Chains A and B, each alone.
Chain A
């Protein structure tokens, strides 16, 4: 087999090139044109019916088994690193955790009592609990393939009744929202993604704002006015405004509250529970059973909550889901 044809042909071809043009210039122009058209088309088209979005959904579907295999292959390494973390816990830390566990057990028992009381009162008043959610469990099979987004891939999709925009939570609270949907897999954009935004409130003072992701993975709570009561350690929960996320799902707790001299709003950092950052199984909320709420599949038309990040300050303070240009 002749593998390379020799330098004489190379030099001949060099001479026959048109002066002033690098080889491949036309091809490059064509590729740039196609790319720019794709970028424009992707931004303009509908998330459900758009050609490129559907193409991405098909690719996600085809990609899912490979991602699953990759996850499987690397799981022993991840398991070993977790084992390392566990074995490195000091005796004092273990004691501290045991004490915390006992305290939490007591709190759970106490809360169970309150729950029973609340249920009795609710049945008296004939109102439904706001925590009656219809959800489906799904397994996390991979995370984002690029450095610029924080997403995870789960092993269920439209065939299981999932729809775009459905909220996703784990045992510790809210983690994100379905962003891309395929037949048997979905991509969830995490709330820690820079382009995410969740309507939230401070549990103790009920002050409302928007929780947004940031590049370092932490969360920040925006639009909390300086006259509101917020302190370190306060729990942040979803406010339920807009009907996309159910009310009262924990998001994290306040780790710092800062206020600039002439600022109208606090600069608040929120930290999600550490255990919430390791995703293995998640719950996708398919329906909010609050009075007057419709199934989430129809709520999806209101668009992803991340688009709230583009909303104006005034709208954000009112806690509305602001429609974006994509809707």
Chain B
């Protein structure tokens, strides 16, 4: 049990109990939002990819290894509910989680602007990568229709929700930390 609890992620070692409650809560919230509201929030034909936001939250907080792990699992959840080829989002989110976590850890504590820029880039990269992999695996779409009807609206919607979720997460993280500091626990990044 202690071995499971002592995971090593990226640049740092930490126990699962050291992960802030707000991250667990946001992870659960993202999964619930994906299953319940994922198909209801529509812009053009695009849907919000809450699994992308979940992956970025972990990758920006705990680095590449956490990004890959969570990205893979988030991709699995996405693929199980989607009508596209199984495994494509698993592949894309694993890759994205890895590269998103390369920059630095605890990005939400260090610099929220960097996290937002990362979110914008990641949204665009994911939608482009997902489209390319889908087309490569036999999905029929022309380049123009891909860009106009899939890539642009999806990226826009992902981006909007990334910004909202990142701000909300940073706000709750800050509140949780100030509450913990008040109780005598010290945080360092």
Q: Which residue of A lies closest to B10 (CB)?
A: A23
At the interface, yes or no: A18 with Cβ under 8 Å from chain B?
no
Question: Of the 9-residue stretches B12-20, B114-122, B160-168, which lies at the interface with chain A?
Answer: B12-20
At the interface, yes or no: A179 with Cβ under 8 Å from chain B?
yes
Given contacts A4-B187, A32-B91, contact A145 B102 (CB under 8 A): no
Q: When the two chains form their complex, are residues B150 and A9 in contact, meaning their CB atoms are under 8 A apart?
A: no
Q: When the two chains form their complex, are residues B69 and A27 in contact, meaning their CB atoms are under 8 A apart?
A: yes
Q: When the two chains form their complex, are residues A145 and B78 in contact, meaning their CB atoms are under 8 A apart?
A: yes
Q: When the two chains form their complex, are residues B83 and A147 in contact, meaning their CB atoms are under 8 A apart?
A: no
Q: When the two chains form their complex, are residues B154 and A147 in contact, meaning their CB atoms are under 8 A apart?
A: yes
Q: What are the interface flags for A30-65 relative to B under an 8 Å C-beta threshold, 1 for contact and 0 otherwise?
A: 011011111101110000000010011001100100
Q: When the two chains form their complex, are residues B13 and A67 in contact, meaning their CB atoms are under 8 A apart?
A: no
Q: When the two chains form their complex, are residues B185 and A146 in contact, meaning their CB atoms are under 8 A apart?
A: no
Q: When the two chains form their complex, are residues A179 and B83 in contact, meaning their CB atoms are under 8 A apart?
A: yes
Q: When the two chains form their complex, are residues B64 and A35 in contact, meaning their CB atoms are under 8 A apart?
A: no
At the interface, yes or no: B36 with Cβ under 8 Å from chain A?
yes
The residues in A between 188 and 237 inclusive whose CB is less than 8 angstroms from any CB of B are 189, 194-195, 214-217
Q: When the two chains form their complex, are residues B185 and A56 in contact, meaning their CB atoms are under 8 A apart?
A: no
Chain A residue contacts of B10, Cβ below 8 A: 23-24
Chain A residue contacts of B67, Cβ below 8 A: 24
Q: When the two chains form their complex, are residues A43 and B138 in contact, meaning their CB atoms are under 8 A apart?
A: yes
Q: When the two chains form their complex, are residues A147 and B153 in contact, meaning their CB atoms are under 8 A apart?
A: yes
Chain A residue contacts of B82, Cβ below 8 A: 144-146, 148-149
A3 CA to B17 CA in the complex, in Å? 8
Given contacts A7-B188, A10-B12, A23-B11, contact A59 B80 (CB under 8 A): yes
Q: When the two chains form their complex, are residues A1 and B91 in contact, meaning their CB atoms are under 8 A apart?
A: no
How distant is A183 from chain B, measured CB to nearest CB, in Å? 16
Q: When the two chains form their complex, are residues B83 and A146 in contact, meaning their CB atoms are under 8 A apart?
A: yes
Q: When the two chains form their complex, are residues B13 and A148 in contact, meaning their CB atoms are under 8 A apart?
A: no
Chain A residue contacts of B47, Cβ below 8 A: 144-147
A148 CA to B79 CA in the complex, in Å? 12
At the interface, yes or no: A125 with Cβ under 8 Å from chain B?
no
Partner among A3, A60, A67 whose Cβ is within 8 Å of the Cβ of B39: A67
Chain A residue contacts of B32, Cβ below 8 A: 66
Q: Which residue of B lies closest to A150 (CB)?
A: B45
Q: What are the interface flags for B5-46 relative to A under an 8 Å C-beta threshold, 1 for contact and 0 otherwise?
A: 000111111100110100000000000101111111010011
How distant is A293 from chain B, measured CB to nearest CB, in Å? 28
At the interface, yes or no: B60 with Cβ under 8 Å from chain A?
no
Q: When the two chains form their complex, are residues A23 and B18 in contact, meaning their CB atoms are under 8 A apart?
A: no
Q: When the two chains form their complex, are residues B37 and A215 in contact, meaning their CB atoms are under 8 A apart?
A: no
The residues in A between 1 and 17 inclusive whose CB is less than 8 angstroms from any CB of B are 1-7, 9-10, 13-14
At the interface, yes or no: A268 with Cβ under 8 Å from chain B?
no
How distant is A165 from chain B, measured CB to nearest CB, in Å? 15
At the interface, yes or no: A256 with Cβ under 8 Å from chain B?
no
A218 CA to B8 CA in the complex, in Å? 50
A63 CA to B35 CA in the complex, in Å? 7
- Which among A31, A63, A73, A151 has the highest number of chain B CB atoms within 10 Å? A31
At the interface, yes or no: A116 with Cβ under 8 Å from chain B?
no
Q: Footprint of A on B, CB under 8 Å?
A: 8-14, 17-18, 20, 32, 34-40, 42, 45-47, 49, 63-65, 67-69, 71-72, 75, 78-91, 94-95, 98, 101-102, 127, 130-131, 134, 137-142, 145-146, 148-150, 153-154, 180, 185, 187-189
Closest 10 interchain pairs by CB?
A38-B87, A215-B145, A70-B36, A35-B91, A59-B80, A24-B65, A24-B64, A39-B87, A66-B35, A31-B94
20 contacts across the A-B interface (CB closer than 8 A): A3-B20, A14-B11, A24-B63, A28-B64, A31-B68, A31-B72, A32-B95, A35-B87, A35-B91, A36-B87, A43-B85, A59-B81, A63-B35, A67-B36, A70-B36, A74-B40, A147-B45, A148-B134, A149-B82, A217-B45
